[in-house]
Amino acid sequence: MINNAKSGNKSESPVKNILLFGGGGCHDFKKCCPVLKKYLAKIPGFKVDYVAEDFDVFTAGRIKNYDLAVVYNTGGQLTIPQKRGLIEWVASGKGFAGVHAAADSFGKSPEYRAMLGGYFRAHPCTRKYIVSLADNKHSVCKYLKGYTVKDWEKWPVFEYEVTDEQYLLDYDDRVLLLATTVFRNRLWPVSWVKTWGAGKVFYIALGHNVEACQGPFFKDIFTGGVEWAVDPAPDKVEPDNRFAIS
Each residue's pLDDT tens digit, 192-241: 999 999 999 999 999 999 999 999 999 999 999 999 999 988 775 444 44
Q: CB of 122 within 8 A of CB of 188?
A: no
* Whether residue 246 has pLDDT greater than 60: no
State how far the Cα of 51 lies from the Cα of 31, in Å rounded to an integer: 13
Q: CB of 22 within 8 A of CB of 55?
A: no
Q: Domains in the chain, please, with CATH?
A: 14-230 (3.40.50.880)
pTM of the model: 0.90
Each residue's pLDDT tens digit, 174-200: 999 999 999 999 999 999 999 999 999
Each residue's pLDDT tens digit, 42-89: 999 999 999 999 999 999 999 999 999 999 999 999 999 999 999 999
Q: CB of 50 within 8 A of CB of 37?
A: yes
**What mean pLDDT comes out for the span 130-136?**
93
Query: What are the backbone dihedrals phi and psi of residue 21, each rounded to the nearest 5 degrees, phi first?
Result: -110, 130
Cα–Cα–Cα angle for 91, 83, 68, rounded to 5 degrees: 50
pLDDT score, position 243: 40
State how far the Cα of 243 lies from the Cα of 8, in Å rounded to an integer: 48
Q: Are strands 68-73 and 186-196 parallel, antiparallel or unpaired?
A: unpaired
